[in-house]
Amino acid sequence: MMDNDFERFDLVVERYLNRQMSKEEELAFKKELDACSEELKQRAATIALVVKAMHEVGGERDNEIIAQISNMSEEEFRKATKIKSHRLYLRYVKYAIAACFIGVVLLSGYEFTLYNSTVKLGKENYYAYTFYVDGQNRGVSSEICDVLTTLFANVEEGKDLKSTISQLEDLYELSVDEDSDYNEYEDDIAWNLAMAHLKKGHKKRAIPYLQDIVNRNQQYPEIAHVAQEIIDKIEN
Amino acid sequence: MKEYNLVDSERELEHFFVRERLKNISLIRSRYSLSTEDAEDVYQESAMALFKKIKEGGLAELTVSLSTYFTRICINQSLNKRRDSHKNVSIDNFQHGYDFDRVEELIDEAFGEDKESKYEEIREIVKDLPSPCETILWSFYEDKLSLSDIAAILHYKNADTAKSKKSQCMSKLKQRFDKKGGSL
């Protein structure tokens, strides 16, 4: 019964660790775990290690934060956490809304002149599989996040597409190397490249990147399906 | 890759609240249909409530992650804002949920005497996850958020997309673990 459907397998292991199974389900799970491939056995053990490590690392980090807050005055806390006074915040929100409104009007006017069916395809589908790089990790790679966040924002806004595509193509080449720091983002970069080409009106150039996503994600049907759907739309 | 540094607590505090702001405002807006302004109010009131709780010494024995605790404060503040306070969730009597005997059992069976070294390797990996896997895996495994909530935070299409991304992130984490010598 256990195959290489990682999505399903992960959920089964998580239910077991969370005590969400009936006695019968537990017995069946243990039996299946004994009989499953070495790859899946390792995966189950890795999930257990992750649960344990996150619990302990998270607990250590939380204690640090609680200890630090305990020694702060309210003013220091507000400053450190960037909590604004209510009145100032409302003023900020009003200015922000006004700025957004002007931005939307300008952007809409600009984009209207570029509007055609391919561009529409890129715009309508940009969020079909949103890639999110928040740049605020519990460790790490903030430089990579900064670069990608900027380039992805360009694609989202349809800004500097020519140079953005060229930079993303270079990064995509890097990302397919498993040892590269960009390897984690190969699908994200491929998706943004596809959307950038669509927004530039280049239908055919988007297909190879979408096809790469489909090929790489056979075990993750939800991701493969989204990319395949766009390919079908382009081809029809 | 930069080193994760627990000693750098100032940076850690700032990052904690940046992450929490990002996460909880998306969550509040999606779950309770609050405006951006109301969600921001809820977040700020919740941060101050957390501050007061800590100053009173009320978090000495936290049974869940600080992030989970803070999210539950945000949920109650959101319900109060909507005048649904009778639906408030329990904040102080909330357990983590994992059966750590089972966690240990799976680790023992797979790694035996090597389990300590494997554990150290995984600790280093979870401290240094790339985004968005960092958000997805920590939110799911430690902060116990649902896949729907994770989808709302990361603006994914739906919970199924979050589920796929979670498994994909676990595969990538395992690849890094294997490269460090984690395979059996």
List b or e across A182-198, with b for residues whose CB sees 16 or more CB atoms inside 10 angstroms: bbbbbbbbbbbbbbbbb
| Chain B residues near residue A89 by CB distance under 8 angstroms | 40, 44
B97 contacts in chain A (CB < 8 Å): 18-19
Distance from the Cα of A67 to chain B's closest Cα (Å) equals 9
What are the pLDDT digits (tens) for A131-142?
Answer: 555 544 433 456
| CA–CA separation, A144 and A175 (whole Å) | 11
Is residue A89 over pLDDT 60? no
H or E segment to which residue B15 belongs: helix B9-32
Residues 6 or more apart from B26 whose CB is under 8 A from it? B152, B153, B155
Of A53, A184, A221, the CB nearest to B130: A184
CB neighbours of B168 closer than 8 A, spacing ≥ 6?
Answer: A187, A217, A220, A223
Question: What is the pTM for the complete model shown?
Answer: 0.66
Mean pLDDT of the region A207-228: 88
Nearest-Cα distance to chain A for B9, in Å, is 6
Render each residue's pLDDT in chain B as its tens digit; 184 residues.
Answer: 334 444 466 777 887 888 888 888 888 888 888 888 888 889 999 999 999 999 988 787 788 889 989 998 999 999 988 776 566 666 555 556 899 999 999 999 998 889 999 999 999 999 888 878 988 999 999 888 899 989 888 878 889 989 999 999 999 999 999 987 755 5
Half-sphere exposure of B99 (CA within 13 A, CB side): 13
- Which residue bears the tokens 């979050």? B162
CA A53 and chain centroid, separation: 23
CA-nearest of B14, B20, B85, B48 to A86 is: B48
H runs (alpha helix) in B33-158: 36-55, 66-81, 100-111, 115-127, 133-137, 147-154
Q: What does residue B157 show for φ and ψ, rounded to 5 degrees?
A: -60, -50
pLDDT reported for residue A212: 93
Residue B80 to chain A, least CA–CA distance (Å): 18
- Position B4 scores a pLDDT of 40
Contact call for B44 and A139, based on CB within 8 A: no
Which chain A residues contact residue B49 at CB under 8 A? none
Retrieve residue B65's tokens.
């992650």
Contacts of A175 in chain B (CB under 8 A): none
Residue A62 φ/ψ, nearest 5 degrees: -60, -40
* Shortest CA gap A185–chain B (Å): 9
The whole-angstrom separation of Cα A141 and Cα A160 is: 25
CA A71 – CA A78 distance, rounded (Å): 13
**Residues B42, B136: Cα–Cα separation, whole Å:** 23
> Is B16 within 8 Å of A81 (Cβ atoms)?
no
Cβ–Cβ gap A129/B161 under 8 Å: yes
In this prediction the ipTM stands at 0.85
- SS3 for B116? helix
Per-residue tokens: B15: 């990052």
Instruction: Report residue A102's pLDDT band, with 50, 70 and 90 as the boundaries.
Output: low
Check pLDDT > 60 for residue A182.
Answer: yes
A102/A96 Cα distance (integer angstroms): 10
C-alpha span between A135 and A196 (Å, rounded)? 22
Please give the DSSP secondary-structure letter assigned to residue B88.
Answer: P
Closest CA to A168 of A137, A206, A121: A206
